[in-house]
Amino acid sequence: MYWDLSPGRLGLPPQHHMADLMLLFPRQSMKQCAAFLVYHPERRLVMPKVSLLDWRRLDGICRYSVVRLRDHLYFLGGYRPAKKKYSRQVLRYELSTGTWYYCNKMKTPRADFSAFAYDGKIYCPGGRTTNGALTELMESFEPITNNWYQENPLPAPCAEFACICLEQLSTVILVGGVARSPNGSFRCFNHIWRFGLLKSTNPYLDYEYLWQALPSGVGVPTSLGVRGHQLVFDSAFNRVYLVGGSPLTGKDDDPAVSQKQSLAWIVLFQHRRHESVVR
């Protein structure tokens, strides 16, 4: 992710005034530092120099999700290998002051999920929960009241997917991830789900916030599926870029412990025409 930066934020030197930054969090390695790169918005280039921020609050936890909402970063859930426990922890980092705060904990401990900000709230769908089980449960966090609320679930339990909010279209899309096949083994899938204010199946409601699968045939253009990837929205071309990730191969391959070589490919999803192509 990247955003406009004011002087002194994150403890950076003054020459970074109004630069766009891209932060990279080592969510799989339990390292307490985050890397940042400077992004040149006019030339659309990422500067090659990488610097590190030492955030000790992230020590000992991995596989968490990070969301930016207004002037704050939220670090949600995760896994603590030393304790072999999935976490409900929620940390808030104030960008303008560099101050950490503890928020009310999530209802469900989870890791390997992709949280997103939508309409002023933070949503946490799916992921892995107690004993590594996949879940379809979703909950939302209201920062003003510091409370969590249960929401409509995903269409199926899954983890290691990627979500992105498309504010111009008032929708969120979820791409890829890991699920269980009918025979009980893990598999990657390549379909795309969307979340938004949709026509309700509840006879007492006209519309409600729901997940819905896109039409058949619209998905990541690979038979393997993808997991552990990221999504980036380019508003200039109205496209979503899918970057990195890896397929799940092997009949009994457990994605919770396996490390596969990452694919170096990008998928462009043109959501207006529901087309997807590989470049």
Query: Does residue 85 register a pLDDT over 80?
Result: yes
pLDDT confidence of residue 188 = 83
pLDDT in tens, 121-168: 999 999 999 999 999 999 999 999 999 999 999 999 999 999 999 887
Q: Is the pTM of this model over 0.85?
A: no
pLDDT in tens, 46-79: 666 666 677 788 888 989 999 999 889 999 999 9
| The token pair that represents 142 in the structure block | 């209201």
What mean pLDDT do residues 3-24 have?
43
pLDDT confidence of residue 51 = 67
Q: Are 231 and 164 in contact (CB under 8 A)?
A: yes
Kindly report the average pLDDT of the chain as a whole number: 75
Helix or strand or coil: residue 11?
helix
pLDDT confidence of residue 109 = 97
| Partners of 151 in the β-ladder | 138
pLDDT confidence of residue 95 = 82
Going from N- to C-terminal start, the domains of the chain cover 1-53
Q: Are 110 and 77 in contact (CB under 8 A)?
A: yes
Q: Is 83 exposed, middle or buried, given 0-12, 13-18 or 19+ CB atoms closer than 10 A?
A: exposed
Residue with more model confidence, 223 or 89? 89
Letter string b/e over residues 41-68, b meaning 16 or more CB atoms within 10 A of that residue's CB: eeeeeeeeeeeebebeebeebbbbbbbb
Query: For residue 134, what is the DSSP state?
Result: B
pLDDT confidence of residue 5 = 29
